[in-house]
Amino acid sequence: MHHHELLKSAHAAHEQMRSMRRALHRNPELSFHEYETSKFIQARLAELNIPFQVMAETGVVAHIGAGDRCVALRADIDALPIHEESGVEYTSTKPGVMHACGHDAHTAMLLGAAQILKERETAQGASALGGVIKLIFQPGEEMSPGGASIMIREGVLQNPRPEAIFGQHVNPDATCGTAAFVGGMMLASTDELYWKLHGKSGHAAQPHNATDPILIAAHLITQLQTLIARRLNPFAPGVLSICSIHGGHATNVIPDIVELSGTLRSMNQAWREEALRAIEAHSLALAASPLYGDGRCELSIVRGYPPLINNDETTAFARTAAQHLIGAANVEEFEPKMWGEDFAYYTHEIPGTFWMLGIRPPHLEATPGLHNSKFIVDENTLPIGAALLANAALTRLAS
């Protein structure tokens, strides 16, 4: 399929993708509870006569084409626990739940790509695609352990095994009509950290008779930053942010307990493991120091997603394919971020590339960011995203 024809097919499906995206936007569902979303996807695939199966309870995997080779395309389907304030006419009907990360657009674009690919298969035969294109509609991207890890465990990358996987994410910081790529490190690992610092309650005027967990917490917060300042290679990215602290209720009472929570982000798997060990060792030792009295620490580490590392070869390929489709001027370089994405699980198993798709209206200099209650999507990006996905799969299987 020539690029002009592919874009033409995508634009012909624009209104249908817009309708699907708005239906999904009105009815967002939280991670691992995407039951109606899953039924919506299944119904559309059935309309297109595309065979599918359900995995991870609410995930859907479909297959188009035939042959010995296989390429996978992935979209995530879950929403966030955010109350929508975007003001759009198709706003969420569920208080406190919103598609504030664009997963409704991701799903609509992959369904649009499915239509484009099925039309080609119907017109020219299953073998015309050059192989099997596996469509992965994945639940639970926003919540550990991540739907990707569950679907992989249930065999989504088997029977057949894809030689490459491609995915995309909307980006409100970039203009509609653009796509941005980066090889190698793209997004960070995402571990959650929860501290419970135990002291001994007492009168604020008699601190020598108490063990002050607020003081322990203050020292812990500042000292742990040494991990970044002195233990991490200055040329390597890493972040440790402690984002909540709770303890005490009166001005003259030293509390028994202070609780902290935060996140560790890293682009390097080896340093990630080293950092987690150092955080645990230092937290336990600091709290138990005789300087504070009789203190102790409980630390819970919830391991999140691994760093997302794009394969250099598939990224170079996907970038070139995008340049041919939408023009080199619209293909940009993405600056790696310390965000997290469970697409990383796929790229740890098989070669793959994740790219960012601009959704900011051209007439605006800025729009609300991801995970913002006022987040919006320029729906003119829908056919572009669908065409990019279909083009990556078709071009790969033709290579």
Query: Does 34 share its domain with 145?
Result: yes
Q: Cis bond leading into 234, ω under 30°?
A: no
Same domain as 75, residue 45:
yes
What residues contact 385, with CB distance under 8 A and at least 6 apart?
105, 106, 109, 112, 168, 170, 357
Asked if residues 60 and 53 have their Cβ atoms less than 8 Å apart, the reply is yes
Are residues 329 and 297 part of one domain?
Answer: no
Give yes or no: residues 36 and 150 share one domain: yes
SS3 82: coil
pLDDT in tens, 27-46: 999 999 999 999 999 999 99
198 and 67 co-located in one domain = no
**CATH number, domain at 166?**
3.40.630.10
Tell how strand 257-266 and strand 189-198 pair up: antiparallel
Q: Are residues 131 and 89 in the same domain?
A: yes
The candidate with the shortest Cα–Cα distance to 137, out of 70, 72, 82, is 72
Q: Is the CB of residue 140 less than 8 Å from the CB of residue 56?
A: yes
pLDDT band of residue 124 (cuts 50, 70, 90) is confident
Q: 105 and 250 share a domain? A: no
- For 232-285, write each residue's pLDDT tens digit: 999 999 999 999 999 999 999 999 999 999 999 999 999 999 999 999 999 999
Residues 6+ apart with CB under 8 A from 116: 6, 9, 10, 13, 386, 387, 390
Per-residue pLDDT band for 373 (boundaries 50, 70, 90) equals very high
Q: CA 78, 81, 84, 85 torsion: positive or negative?
A: negative
> Are residue 165 and residue 203 in the same domain, yes or no?
no
Per the listing, tokens 């300087």 go with: 291
Backbone φ and ψ of 56, nearest 5°: 50, 35
Region 132-146 average pLDDT: 97
> How many CB atoms are located within 10 Å of the residue 166 CB?
26
Per-residue tokens: 346: 């796929």
pLDDT at 1: 55
**HSE of 264, CA atoms in CB hemisphere, 13 A:** 29
* Alpha carbons 225 and 229: distance in angstroms, whole number: 6
Instruction: Provide the number of structural domains found in the chain.
Output: 2
Domain of 133 in residue numbering reads as 3-185+307-398
pLDDT digits (tens, 9 = 90+) for 10-24: 999 999 999 999 999
Residues 173 and 294 in one domain: no
Do 220 and 298 sit in the same domain of this protein? Answer: yes
By DSSP bridging, strand 52-55 and strand 164-175 are unpaired
Q: Residue 226 phi/psi, 5° resolution?
A: -60, -30
**CATH number, domain containing residue 236:** 3.30.70.360
The residue out of 275, 302, 329 marking a domain boundary is 302
Model pLDDT for residues 303-343, shown as the tens digit of each residue:
999 999 999 999 999 999 999 999 999 999 999 999 999 99
Q: Is the pLDDT of residue 134 over 70?
A: yes
The encoded tokens of residue 161 equal 């095994």
Residues with a catalytic annotation lie at: 78, 141
H/E run at residue 315: helix 312-326
Q: Of 242, 275, 302, which one is at a domain's C-terminal end? A: 302
pLDDT for position 264: 98
- At 376 the three-state DSSP class reads coil
Q: Decide: helix, strand or coil at residue 335.
A: coil
The answer on 216 and 167 residing in a single domain is no
Task: Decide which of 284, 302, 320 is a domain's last residue.
Answer: 302
Helix (H) or strand (E) holding 289: none
Residues 13, 28: one domain? yes
Please tell me the total number of residues recorded for the chain in this structure: 399
